[in-house]
Chain A
Amino acid sequence: MDFKSSDTITGPRTEDHLPHTAQAAAKIVIVGGFGVGKTTMVGSVSEIRPLTTEETMTQAGIGVDDNFGSKSKTATTVAMDFGRISITDQLVLYLFGTPGQERFWFLWNGLFEGALGAVVLVDTRRLEVSFDVMGRLEERNVPFVVAVNDFPDAPRYAIEELRQALDLAEEIPIIRCDARRRASSRDVLMTLMSFLHSLAMSGASA
Chain B
Amino acid sequence: MTPPQRQRRQPKHEPSPPFHEDDLPSVTGERPPERLYILTGEDGERAPIDLVTLIVARADPPPSAAPEQSALIRICQAPLSVAEISAYLNLPISVVTVLLTELLTAELVQARAPVVRQARADRSLLEAVMHGLQKL
Contacts and interface: CB of A to CB of B under 8 A. Distances in A.
Asked if A and B bind, the verdict is yes
Interface of A: 2-3, 5-6, 9-12, 17-20, 22-27, 45, 51-60, 64, 68-69, 76-77, 82, 84-88, 91-94, 96, 103, 106-107, 109-117, 124, 127-128, 131, 134-136, 138-142, 155, 157, 161-162, 164-169, 182, 186, 189-190, 193-194, 196-197, 199-201, 205-206
Chain A interface main SS type: mixed
A24 B112 contact: yes
Contacts of A189: 133
A56 B93 CA distance: 8
A138 B8 contact: yes
Interface of B: 1-12, 15-19, 21, 23-25, 28-33, 35, 48, 50-54, 56, 67-68, 70-71, 74-81, 83-84, 86-95, 98-99, 112-117, 119-123, 125-134, 136
Given A2-B90, A3-B89, A85-B133, A157 B3 contact: yes
Chain B interface main SS type: loop
Contacts of A142: 18, 117
Given A17-B78, A157-B3, A139 B9 contact: yes
| Leading 10 A-B pairs by shortest Cβ distance | A11-B75, A114-B116, A87-B132, A51-B87, A200-B121, A6-B71, A17-B78, A165-B3, A25-B52, A140-B18
Given A11-B75, A53-B51, A91-B128, A113 B87 contact: no
A114 B16 CA distance: 11
Nearest to A45: B136
